[in-house]
Structure 1
Amino acid sequence: MAVGGKELRPLQPEGGRRRVCVMTSVIGRRGEDEAAMVALARLFAADGDEVTLLWVPGQQEPSSETMAAHRHALETTSVRLHVLDSSDRLLPSLATPESRSAAVLHYLERSGHDLVYAPLEGGLPYFTLLAAETAAFTAPPIVIVAHAPAQWEHEADKAFMDSTSAIAVAFMEKYCAEMADGTICVSAALRRWMVSKGWKARKFSVIPLLRDAVDPAGALPSTGKGSASELVVLAGWRHRDGLTLLCDALDILATAAPKDLSITAFGPFGRIMGEHSGGLVVRRAERWPFKLNLLANADLNTRLDRAARTGALAVVPARAASTGATVAACIEAGLPVVATNVGANAEAWLAEAGQPGLVEPDPAALAQAISAALDDPPRVQRIDRLRQTRQAWLDTRDPPRRRARKGAGPSPLVSIVMAHRNRPSYLKQAIAAVEAQTYENLELVLVDDGSDLDEARRLLDALEPGFRQRGWKILRRPHKHLGAARNAGIRATQGELVLFADDDNALFPEAVEHFARAMSASGADICTAFQLIFYED
């Protein structure tokens, strides 16, 4: 079967193995949220499941070399990679959130998975869940993993949703969280935020973010002797990551901290209030007596490794946190960390680890905590909760089944209203498509909007006997344009449902059947669908 122009082998269970699909929109970036879905796929594969990692990269299609490298790396952990770069049904590209979600539906219709895990971010399973809700597709159980919804991100960054795409994604994400068979939040703080916004999931649960094992070189429990001479900044470039908060705290420390102190920050860089984040730090550092190190992009393990090798103090100056993953990683690595007490950071912090207490996201409080930890590094202990977290994720593979939809009931009469004017060749095709419908209880009301071509009039005359035999209608009216023609057609209908299909439309054979079933199952008053545009050439 072809999906996205590539051949897919049907997934066959081997000895009753569970066939699991884990979705991700990115692979190879250094964000903990993105890496979590890959880690989840590897975890399930290690436990014996037949796992496919479905990569939906979106607008920027990865190179063949990149795909080959990731495919090879995943195959070593028994994970099969499939890159969904387009759809063979109606969608030549995946340039919008809606098209990516529709392509995911087309893939899942053919793939035969027993269970699906999808990130909430981006709303990838939106159309799959919508199809399941309207009885258009019997979907496997779908579990949503929520890290940082678009609405939460915009609020945390104090930013407006300035595009229709962002608004669409926020809507799709909320629908996915509410309609999935299970919604897993990676922190209780995120779950509380969702509830406060009126999100009503069928089943909410909280499990910490799944990460690969943290094992930085030289990460040993602190002796508590001497003083640290380096701060390793574990902050991104977004407002919520607290880079400006840290700069304010360092302004305060500039007169009191050791002059040999160095500050190490990492890319990737972005823009904060219109300014390049790396440039912002360089500009602010002009008033500090400390040495500043700006290093290339690095994942969390690389940053922790730097802190372990140099005996540095890690700093997490977040203004908002939905996962607490960075604080948890520092604790697992046995690295001293000063962090703010926002959101999920408070859940990740453990008093028994001997870490400094969390502080308010205030420059003075942060400066005081950093100064104290530099002067007297805490005696911290490594506490690894990874085994417990892994087991919690493994236990999610039996989600509650979606509520059964009510039966479709009697097939309602569907009235197709077709407007026409001077396009006899198209009209023949449109009528043939109606005649080929798999749904039987329908009528066609053809409204001629003042055709004045002899060929069009002759075709209407030829159609009259067949229409009368079927109980269909042809209305001939003066030319008053499309709206008037459709209104006249509606007045002549007898059906419970009305479908507009003009003379240049060709319905797929199952179109009316799908529309009627979806409206009956969902109780919707209006139903629409994607279209495939074709040209004469």
Structure 2
Amino acid sequence: MKKILIMTPDIEGPVRNGGIGTAFTALATTLAKKGDDVDVLYTCGDYSESSVSKFSDWSRIYSTFGINLLRTGLIKEINIDAPYFRRKSYSIYLWLKENNIYDTVISCEWQADLYYTLLSKKNGTDFENTKFIVNTHSSTLWADEGNYQLPYDQNHLELYYMEKMVVEMADEVVSPSQYLIDWMLSKHWNVPEERHVILNCEPFQGFVTRDDVTVKINEKPASGVELVFFGRLETRKGLDIFLRALRKLSDEDKESISGVTFLGKNVTMGKTDSFTYIMNQTKNLGLAVNVISDYDRTNANEYIKRKNVLVIIPSLVENSPYTVYECLINNVNFLASNVGGIPELIPQEHHAEVLFIPTPVDLYGKIHYRLKNINIKPGLAESQDNIKEAWFVAVERKNNRAFKKINEANSPLVSVCITHFERHHLLQQALASIKSQTYQNIEVILVDDGSTTEDSHRYLNLIENDFNSRGWKIVRSSNNYLGAARNLAARHASGEYLMFMDDDNVAKPFEVETFVTAALNSGADVLTTPSDLIFGEEFPSPFRKMTHCWLPLGPDLNIASFSNCFGDANALIRKEVFEKVGGFTEDYGLGHEDWEFFAKISLQGYKLQIVPEPLFWYRVANSGMLLSGNKSAKTTRVSDV
């Protein structure tokens, strides 16, 4: 029996009419019925579209079907300095570290819940015994293309990158359509070789219909055919195409039609909403028009299964929609656009009868034909038994990747390059933290960047014998600022890797070991890490709990145009690569040389990756680099890369 976690921002109950929620509820109940131990983690916290049932009610309902329904939201104990979806993914990463009990975790790419978790696995630092399956449904970029929508803020733009990386880092990708895999490949996504097309499971039918909603079913079937638009009431679902096709109906056509119903979620459309837009567009139609936007999936399916109904699904872009799927398995008469993965759901011999090109003219032609030939029910292209068996095989399929471990053959020399200027009392903390490292094959190159005070010189003289005994180096220079000081340290370094460190930061005991482990497993040329923030002159205990964190994203060059999304200079860098890109720039008095360096690394095709576990304490102080210098000049240098 497998211990399985299905992790999703959309699940039936708390969310109404979501395709991803329908798919994961169906998969969860299918696996539970087989005998697997299934947890479902809803990742949107307190968000709920259920007006009559609390989350605890839904948890109890799921438990009756052998499923443990859990939820998590943004972590409240840590102040994370990052946009929303970074914070959300990181909160989930922390949850999974605390609940590392699963054989298999299944999630989707949408909202990138697994981003930091999969980074950690790729680094060989966590989740060695857990297989991660990404069940692709609809990335934000894919949906935006369908809606002709440009990204409206940085947070939105970040999702494009994070969702792409979630797919690329998965142990296995399962898509309900070959179409979506082909779309990802066309965007140059590095989709894993372990990828499979498996249709979604049949929707779960165990939930009762909502008591607060009455499904409008006439006792006597209407004399004519009711046209039912089925789907979210938005452009991407073909709303405008359907409305324009309706205008082409002849008087003869209208005599065969009892009315037109729009069945789907009401959404904002510019300065108005779907309901208002539909009513304005159909006021001269000459047919009864009804908009139903409060049904959940169960209620909606009861509605479309009535007699004399012709469902219209005119989507402009689709993956493998349940609107079509449920028409097929419930023998509902329908028409659907021939886009995306829709044709893969329908037996080939019925394509000409039920599919249309998503234009008003072609849709009208098919409506005209079907008004006289309504009863065409092709059934689903794949059997439910085959779908279930394919999912069982995917869950059971072993993940054979073993982590590389540090040993005598894999223990490269790391040169810790520390720059110092007039802060010997904090330098003591930095050096003490390096001496406490769990990884032993290190050397320290300490560059004093022109300190002038007697106390600083006395301290450097004091530690010189200890440095000599360890084979470490103290390099004294004139004051040339950070970029030059770091480059000077690198020139004196003998290690395969360089780890840069400021004199006011403190390394966590496992920093170097974790960096080296990540380098061995990921093959990255540069590794950065979140900053665990400390304040004033505190010397943190190794067991200090994180309260504030600066969380970088990674090498997304789109976001790098606006801000340093790469990470702090307290990073591990392959020395050979450092030298090839020319090290840091040496402009006196200007910062952001790390941002600029990381941008050059990424633009030249070297691999930069983040270690999600914060590996050092970053000191926030009024005299720190974070708060000083010419901001405009610093930013200009990055834009020139």
* TM-score relative to the length of structure 1: 0.86
Please state if 1:98 is matched with 2:86: yes
CA RMSD of aligned residues (A): 3.2
CA positional deviation for 1:336: 0.9
Which amino acid in the other structure matches residue 92 of structure 2?
A: V
Cα distance in 2 for residues equivalent to 1:143 and 1:441:
37
CA positional deviation for 1:460: 2.9
Q: What aligned pairs does 1:28-177 form with structure 2 within 5 A after superposition?
A: 28-29=14-15, 30-57=17-44, 66-87=54-75, 92=80, 96-110=84-98, 111-137=100-126, 138-177=128-167
* Mapped contact 2:334–2:354 kept (Cα < 8 A): no
Cα distance in 2 for residues equivalent to 1:214 and 1:353:
27
Q: 1:428 to 1:60 in 2, by over 3 A?
A: farther
CA positional deviation for 1:301: 2.9
* Mapped contact 2:222–2:258 kept (Cα < 8 A): no
Q: 1:447 to 1:62 in 2, by over 3 A?
A: farther
* Mapped contact 1:448–1:477 kept (Cα < 8 A): yes
Please state if 1:374 is matched with 2:371: yes
The 3-state SS of whatever aligns with 1:499 is strand
* Mapped contact 1:251–1:287 kept (Cα < 8 A): no
The 3-state SS of whatever aligns with 1:297 is coil
Q: 1:238 to 1:532 in 2, by over 3 A?
A: farther
The match for 2:8 is 24
Q: 1:351 to 1:498 in 2, by over 3 A?
A: closer
Which amino acid in the other structure matches residue 56 of structure 2?
A: A
CA positional deviation for 1:242: 0.4
> Over residues 509-535 of structure 1, what are the superposed CA-to-partner deviations in whole Å (9 max), with x where a residue is unaligned?
111011112223332211111111122
Deviates more, 1:130-139 or 1:379-388: 379-388
* Mapped contact 1:229–1:312 kept (Cα < 8 A): yes
Gapped regions of structure 1 (runs ≥ 5)? 1-16, 220-224
* Mapped contact 1:180–1:201 kept (Cα < 8 A): yes
Cα distance in 1 for residues equivalent to 2:250 and 2:269:
23
* Mapped contact 2:26–2:204 kept (Cα < 8 A): no
The 3-state SS of whatever aligns with 2:526 is coil
CA positional deviation for 1:104: 3.4
Q: 1:273 to 1:364 in 2, by over 3 A?
A: farther
Cα distance in 1 for residues equivalent to 2:156 and 2:496:
37
* Mapped contact 2:29–2:204 kept (Cα < 8 A): no
Deviates more, 1:276-285 or 1:436-445: 276-285
Deviates more, 1:208-217 or 1:329-338: 208-217
> Over residues 333-364 of structure 1, what are the superposed CA-to-partner deviations in whole Å (9 max), with x where a residue is unaligned?
12111222222221222478899421111212
Please state if 1:479 is matched with 2:445: no
Which amino acid in the other structure matches residue 123 of structure 1?
A: A
* Mapped contact 1:226–1:377 kept (Cα < 8 A): no
CA positional deviation for 1:402: 4.0
Which amino acid in the other structure matches residue 290 of structure 1?
A: L
Which amino acid in the other structure matches residue 314 of structure 1?
A: V
Cα distance in 1 for residues equivalent to 2:437 and 2:388:
50
Q: What aligned pairs does 1:158-197 form with structure 2 within 5 A after superposition?
A: 158-197=148-187
* Mapped contact 2:405–2:517 kept (Cα < 8 A): no
CA positional deviation for 1:440: 0.5
The match for 1:394 is 392
For these two proteins, the number of residue pairs brought into alignment is 514
CA positional deviation for 1:493: 1.8
> Over residues 285-343 of structure 1, what are the superposed CA-to-partner deviations in whole Å (9 max), with x where a residue is unaligned?
12311122122332333222122346422111111210132112012112111222222
Cα distance in 1 for residues equivalent to 2:117 and 2:321:
30
> Over residues 134-193 of structure 1, what are the superposed CA-to-partner deviations in whole Å (9 max), with x where a residue is unaligned?
322325111110111233222222233344434433333333333322211111222232
Deviates more, 1:277-286 or 1:50-59: 50-59
The 3-state SS of whatever aligns with 2:290 is strand
The match for 1:243 is 239
The match for 1:462 is 462
Cα distance in 2 for residues equivalent to 1:238 and 1:426:
58
Deviates more, 1:134-143 or 1:359-368: 134-143
CA positional deviation for 1:239: 2.6
CA positional deviation for 1:441: 0.9
Which amino acid in the other structure matches residue 328 of structure 2?
A: I
* TM-score relative to the length of structure 2: 0.73
Which amino acid in the other structure matches residue 42 of structure 2?
A: W
Cα distance in 2 for residues equivalent to 1:518 and 1:417:
19
Gapped regions of structure 2 (runs ≥ 5)? 210-214, 216-220, 539-641
The match for 1:9 is none
Q: 1:186 to 1:251 in 2, by over 3 A?
A: same
The 3-state SS of whatever aligns with 2:112 is coil
Please state if 1:357 is matched with 2:354: yes
* Mapped contact 2:30–2:201 kept (Cα < 8 A): no
Q: 1:468 to 1:491 in 2, by over 3 A?
A: same
Deviates more, 1:198-207 or 1:379-388: 379-388
* Mapped contact 1:414–1:442 kept (Cα < 8 A): yes
The 3-state SS of whatever aligns with 1:464 is helix
Q: 1:24 to 1:435 in 2, by over 3 A?
A: same
CA positional deviation for 1:272: 4.5
Q: 1:523 to 1:152 in 2, by over 3 A?
A: same
> How many percent identity over aligned positions?
27
